[in-house]
């Protein structure tokens, strides 16, 4: 039985690595692809989006009011007087970081596996990660008690000659959130480069077009960078939180 070129003896198709598979199926033209990409930004805002945005804004306003109440009343309303169980701030911090880990893990694995359909999930997952990290970053700042002194957590000179305690889990949170937010923003931006370049071509104002170097793809090494943060999930963070308190070790 003759062997068909491009196949093995059993008929298995051999993929040619020199031929790149098409990313856009259906033989669409460049104009059709541009219309689809820009249609989401140029189309009128749907009513269901406005309804969802209104509901989320009301919930966010309620959360802002609770934070103001906390700042005025004191951090005792968080349940910090309990020496064993976790208080409300640490519980929420770990929750939001866990949400962020989920989005980054999904995006990074799909990117490393070269899944062409990942673009439909990547943007939503990374946007979820960024907002989760922002929510998590609120709690270390409020935990200091006087939020107007939250910048003391950063290792910068200040008038009181106070230097951060690098053995404090609170300072670890600051470095973890800032690093995680930077990596998440870069990973989200790399996935948005083709869409941003397409929107640039449709932009009417010169200011909205930006410069060409803003839409160039960074080095491929950035694809695997977020996976470096994956070996530190909630279980390891629980162990770190337990290094200073006997009650925390038993509760974790």
pLDDT digit string, tens, across residues 26-48 = 777 777 888 877 877 778 888 99
Question: Would you say residue 78 has pLDDT above 50?
Answer: yes
Strand partners, 13: 7
∠ CA 191-236-178, rounded to 5°: 45
pTM beyond 0.85: the answer is no
CA distance linking residue 135 with residue 92, whole number of Å: 9
Band the pLDDT of 73: cuts 50, 70, 90.
Answer: confident
Q: What is the pLDDT of residue 9?
A: 47
Contacts of 98 (CB under 8 A, 6+ apart): 233, 234
CA distance linking residue 104 with residue 96, whole number of Å: 13
| Residue with more model confidence, 3 or 236 | 236
Q: Cβ distance 4 to 11 under 8 Å?
A: yes
Q: How many CB atoms lie within 10 A of CB 146?
A: 11
Q: Cβ distance 84 to 250 under 8 Å?
A: yes
Band the pLDDT of 198: cuts 50, 70, 90.
Answer: confident
CA distance linking residue 97 with residue 177, whole number of Å: 8
* Residue 237: Cβ-neighbour burial (10 angstroms; 0-12, 13-18, 19+): buried
Q: What is the pLDDT of residue 48?
A: 93
CA distance linking residue 46 with residue 133, whole number of Å: 28
């Amino acid at each position: 039985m003759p062997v068909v070129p491009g196949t093995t003896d059993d008929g298995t198709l051999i993929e040619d690595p020199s031929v790149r598979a098409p990313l856009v199926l259906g033989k669409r033209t460049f104009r059709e692809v541009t219309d689809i990409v820009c249609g989401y930004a140029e189309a009128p805002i749907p009513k269901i989006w406005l309804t969802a945005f209104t509901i989320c804004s009301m919930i966010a306003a309620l959360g802002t009011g609770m934070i103001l109440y906390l700042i005025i009343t004191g951090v005792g309303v968080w349940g910090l007087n309990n020496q064993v169980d976790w208080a409300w701030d640490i519980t929420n911090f770990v929750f939001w970081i866990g949400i962020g880990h989920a989005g980054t893990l999904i995006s990074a694995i799909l990117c490393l596996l070269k899944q062409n359909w990942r673009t439909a999930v990547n943007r939503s997952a990374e946007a979820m990660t960024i907002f989760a990290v922002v929510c998590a970053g609120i709690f270390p700042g409020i935990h200091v008690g006087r939020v107007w002194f939250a910048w003391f957590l950063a290792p910068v000179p200040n008038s009181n000659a106070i230097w951060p305690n690098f053995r404090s889990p609170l300072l670890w949170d600051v470095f973890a959130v800032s690093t995680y937010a930077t990596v998440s923003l870069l990973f989200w931006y790399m996935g948005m480069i083709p869409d941003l370049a397409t929107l640039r071509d449709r932009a009417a104002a010169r200011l909205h077009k930006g410069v060409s170097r803003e839409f160039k793809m960074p080095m491929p090494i950035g694809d695997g960078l977020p996976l470096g943060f994956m070996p530190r999930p909630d279980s390891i963070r629980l162990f770190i939180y337990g290094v200073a308190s006997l009650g925390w070790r038993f509760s974790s």
